[in-house]
Structure 1
Amino acid sequence: MTSAKVIRALAQTVLAPLIAVVVSMIVTSVVVSISGSSVTEFWDVMLSWPSNRNWVNITNQTSMLFLAALAAAIAFRMNLFNIGVEGQYTLAAFVASAVAGAAWLPGKANVLLALVVAMVVGALWAGIAGVLKVTRGVSEVISTIMLNAIAGTMIGYLLNNHGDQYGQGRRTTPIPESSMMPGWAPWGAINGQIWTLCILAVIAGVTMSVVINRTRFGFDLRATGANEDAAIASGVKVKKMVVIAMLISGAIAGLVWMPALFGAAGYYGPPFQHMLGFTGIAVALLGRNRPLGIFFGAVLFAWLSERANAVSLETGVSPSVVQVTQGVVVLAVVIAYEVVRRWVAAHEQRQLTSAIGEEARA
């Protein structure tokens, strides 16, 4: 490996994230100070070691954020902006919950059926945007945003007219106990359980890494995202790739809430966690659309989310300050990578100019 490649690799893996972390900490400290709270107390609580229960929650949250980010990253690698992960996983969670609640199959077969249904629903909902793009030239950003709204409206209508009454709200029929998959309690049942279906995040991450980096499809996807004209010249069917990429993105999005559904919730209703799709997009950007980077980004966001309650209770700082931190982290990472990229490019240009000058003098 040449010195230029070493510098580029170190800058991208170490320097850019370090700059982003420092900038986000400075900005957050300023926000906390303006709010009239103690910056020292804020960071003492935020950086303190979580309890066992907190670690369980962080692990579970990481798995869902990882799946959401992975769904967005597949499209991003194709230079597609799938802003509809939110609607895709929400609709998929609702339909899968209804299917699992109907219990057409016994025991764990019911779980498998629901997972397949969730992936199919998510894929089809994302596929609409892909088809509109290649047949009518509709921007996937606009279509996926609109599909998010349509999904929410559909779910509201179906719950109100066909859901079970639950307190002041509505829910799908609860999943039979035989189909629930609670998981593993490493620190005892009192501290909660790490959901069994968190393993879906591991499987999806490994599969994506292999497909993107070791297959012809992955090469075509990366090539199309890097330079569409060059991909067409090399024989890649770009329109087909667009639809396939959106289908895969939606299928992964369909799995986002499955760990929580079968691990704890048992039905679609008040326990459903919104905004995972939008947060996943931020995590994908933070992780540079690579599975390993996405993993660290998901852990960071899950950590910040879990520590928000502790910060509010112990320091009086509003949990919204943590949301500011999350936004600043993403913005800082994007800016830091661009700054580092330009610095590396300028460094390589100086090296090239120096080499050409030495060769001319020789």
Structure 2
Amino acid sequence: MTALVRRLLPPALALAFSVLLCGLAVLISHGNPITAVTAMVGQAADGATLVNIVNTAGVYYLAGLAVAIGFQMRLFNIGVEGQYRVGAVAGAIVGGTVALPPVLHAVAILVVAALAGALYAAIPAVLKVTRGVNEVISTIMLNAVAGGILAYLIRPDTFGVLRGNNIGTAMIPPSGWVPGIPFGSAGTVFGLVFLAAALGAGYWVMMNRTRFGFELKASGESPTAAAAGGVNAKRMVLTAMVLSGAVAGLVAMPELLGRDHTYTVISPSGYGFTGIAVALLGRNHPGGIAFGALLWSFLDKSALALDNVGVPREIVTIMQGAIVLSVVVAYEVVRRIELTSAQRRVGREVGTAAEPAVATAGGES
């Protein structure tokens, strides 16, 4: 199998699987797949919907990057959900209570959010390296704890401010806002979408052009071999989790500093779990994660159009799951094909090398 085929076959198979599964899902719901796709594309072409897709994709991209950093170390950081919410409320509290000049104010909020996310991610990291606690268990539990922390901090007797029937942190003044790119009546693209893109570029450089990135991937592939090469496995676990948590702490920042300017008890949630799907879809590559974030956001925002063609919008959730499943299955199929091919090739080479040896032994006898 040539290098080009190895690169193109998995995404081609994934595309075929996902189209088949999504088409079947629409047919089972008594809809027409072509009509459904046409309606969704038409909805996405609307200016306001397109801006929403880009903005939401920026949020999903940050969540996907946070998960991917852990995946590179073979760490399943399910705690991005709790880490980003802790980072969001910490940044919102500081932003609403501290008076600073423009730019510096926004930078301070971002730094606080990243530090809060990193510190919260350090808890399961320390538990793993000191007590061997599986990060899946500890991060799931800490997600629930994060909800309690938010409920405590966003109260009238702590840092909460009641506005009508809703309660949230104090409003961040304009000096802490991050301006975006206005598109008239269509809306405004968040300025921090470009921060997400910059972090994606930094992630690529870190993983492909630095010694730390090499050690991170080596530790994930084979901790024993990495340790033999002088890599401290425990230090890599701590570093990877803290970096993942720092990026997770920034997940809510595009919306907080670009639109809402306060964090409430009903602020959007679930971004951390979406980040897991986006990272899997993008195979931990920054470009793939960007594609996955845009695709996921497109499906989310264009789902409303399905109601107009007689297809329940909930079918989009099935589509999203089918797409992720298709990617995972396709890459696993190709991996097994390559493994079988390599085993056969080695077997042929061993057999070919053994024939002269047998012939020589027969001649000597």
- Provide the TM-score with structure 1 as the length reference: 0.92
> Any idea what SS the aligned residue of 1:319 has?
coil
Partner of 2:145: 150
What is the Cα deviation at residue 306 of structure 1? 1.4
CA contact (8 A) 1:182 1:264 kept: no
What is the Cα deviation at residue 259 of structure 1? 1.0
CA contact (8 A) 1:96 1:118 kept: yes
What is the Cα deviation at residue 354 of structure 1? 4.0
Partner of 1:327: 321
Q: Measure the CA separation in 1 of the matches of 2:176 and 2:144.
A: 31
CA contact (8 A) 1:78 1:245 kept: yes
Partner of 1:118: 113
Establish whether residue 176 from structure 1 lines up as the match of residue 173 from structure 2.
yes
What is the Cα deviation at residue 360 of structure 1? 5.5
1:165 to 162, 167, 170: 162
CA contact (8 A) 2:105 2:175 kept: no
What is the Cα deviation at residue 130 of structure 1? 0.2
2:209 to 200, 203, 214: 214
> Any idea what SS the aligned residue of 2:279 has?
helix
Q: Measure the CA separation in 2 of the matches of 1:253 and 1:219.
A: 22
Partner of 2:19: 25
Letter in 2 for 1:131: V
1:259 to 254, 261, 278: 254
2:80 to 82, 85, 91: 85
Letter in 2 for 1:179: G
Partner of 1:41: 35
CA contact (8 A) 1:265 1:271 kept: no
What is the Cα deviation at residue 235 of structure 1? 1.1
1:247 to 238, 242, 247: 242
> Any idea what SS the aligned residue of 2:192 has?
helix
Across the aligned residues of Structure 1 and Structure 2, the Cα RMSD in angstroms comes to 1.8
Q: Measure the CA separation in 1 of the matches of 2:208 and 2:314.
A: 38
Superposed CA offset, 1:307-356 (max 9, x none): 112223x2232222111111111111111100011112222333344445
Partner of 1:201: 196
CA contact (8 A) 2:100 2:175 kept: no
Letter in 1 for 2:140: I
What is the Cα deviation at residue 29 of structure 1? 2.2
Q: Measure the CA separation in 2 of the matches of 1:251 and 1:54.
A: 30
What is the Cα deviation at residue 358 of structure 1? 5.1
Partner of 1:350: 344
Partner of 1:64: 59
CA contact (8 A) 1:103 1:176 kept: no
Partner of 1:278: 273
Residue range with higher mean Cα deviation, 49-58 or 235-244: 49-58
Sequence identity, in percent? 44
Superposed CA offset, 1:30-54 (max 9, x none): 2222223333321222344622222
What is the Cα deviation at residue 271 of structure 1? 6.6
Partner of 2:359: none
CA contact (8 A) 2:126 2:238 kept: yes
Q: Measure the CA separation in 1 of the matches of 2:244 and 2:151.
A: 24
Q: Measure the CA separation in 1 of the matches of 2:244 and 2:289.
A: 15
Establish whether residue 109 from structure 1 lines up as the match of residue 117 from structure 2.
no
Q: Measure the CA separation in 1 of the matches of 2:266 and 2:38.
A: 31
Q: Measure the CA separation in 2 of the matches of 1:168 and 1:133.
A: 42
Partner of 2:332: 338
Q: Measure the CA separation in 2 of the matches of 1:310 and 1:101.
A: 38
- Provide the TM-score with structure 2 as the length reference: 0.92
> Any idea what SS the aligned residue of 1:160 has?
coil
Partner of 1:269: 264
Residue range with higher mean Cα deviation, 13-22 or 121-130: 13-22
Q: Measure the CA separation in 1 of the matches of 2:38 and 2:347.
A: 49
**Which has the greater radius of gyration?**
2
> Any idea what SS the aligned residue of 1:196 has?
coil
What is the Cα deviation at residue 293 of structure 1? 1.2
Give the unaligned 5+ runs of structure 1.
Answer: none
Letter in 1 for 2:322: V
> Any idea what SS the aligned residue of 1:164 has?
strand
What is the Cα deviation at residue 169 of structure 1? 2.0
Establish whether residue 140 from structure 1 lines up as the match of residue 135 from structure 2.
yes
What is the Cα deviation at residue 114 of structure 1? 0.4
Residue range with higher mean Cα deviation, 233-242 or 350-359: 350-359
Residue range with higher mean Cα deviation, 348-357 or 66-75: 348-357
CA contact (8 A) 1:72 1:85 kept: yes
